[in-house]
Chain A
């Protein structure tokens, strides 16, 4: 397998997101449709059922810098959430989140969002007390 360059990988991810081919429980897209560098992205995670996140929609920002996908993206929650891998400013701490820590080139923003959702639904985290719905980090 050859190495797909950053921009073409991001275009593929974008197309998958635009055509709605990614998982239903998450979504993502460019923050600014004019951003030819495709650096800033928005993501959402639909709170998993049977957890304290049920029926909530979490929004996030994702930054894919010029090292992506050789290096993982920077992921930050906009909606407040209580999850061990998320710090007090909403940043997902790569040391506490396996998908970012053991990043692989074949991963995508979809992988990150789905794995975060899986972490939210895990038996250890699904009953964590959550901040009021709709509150955000400033």
Chain B
């Protein structure tokens, strides 16, 4: 395997030494371009108190192209589909090499705090969301307690 670019090494070191609050990201031992991520659901969102697992991979072209990211924990959200794929502009057309793993993870956390049913990936969820937001938020909360790990049980301070 080719040597890891310095930028990736630096980003990884900083993710570990100075983690983003509410997000942990560790490279896999066997593949330093692959990361295991755990993300706290943002406060006062339907995902509050849940910890969500994600996986992230830096393709060969990184940072000319964005990291690939997906949720491993099932989540009810209009911009995240059943396979955990995320619809977010900075992961597609609006990527810039000025962004980093940490800014991307923060953007994903922000997406959890403010779902955007007008630009959906999971169509049925987006429809539910637009039809009856209160009900959709209820389902999202239910899924959070059903599928996500509990925030308190993970050892994080409440």
Contact = CB atoms under 8 A, between A and B. Distances in A.
Interface of A: 1-5, 7-8, 11, 14, 33-36, 38
Interface centre among B31, B70, B83 (most CB of A within 10 A): B83
A5 to B, nearest CB: 5
| Chain B interface category by residue count | 10 to 19
Nearest to B56: A8
Given A34-B82, A36-B72, A36-B82, A7 B55 contact: yes
A7 B82 contact: no
20 contacts: A1-B1, A1-B60, A2-B2, A2-B31, A2-B33, A2-B59, A2-B60, A4-B57, A4-B59, A5-B28, A5-B55, A5-B57, A7-B55, A11-B68, A11-B70, A11-B83, A11-B85, A14-B83, A33-B82, A36-B82
Contacts of A3: 1, 31
A8 B82 contact: no
B12 to A, nearest CB: 14
Contacts of A8: 55, 57, 68, 70
Nearest to A10: B83
Interface string B55-71: 10111100000001010
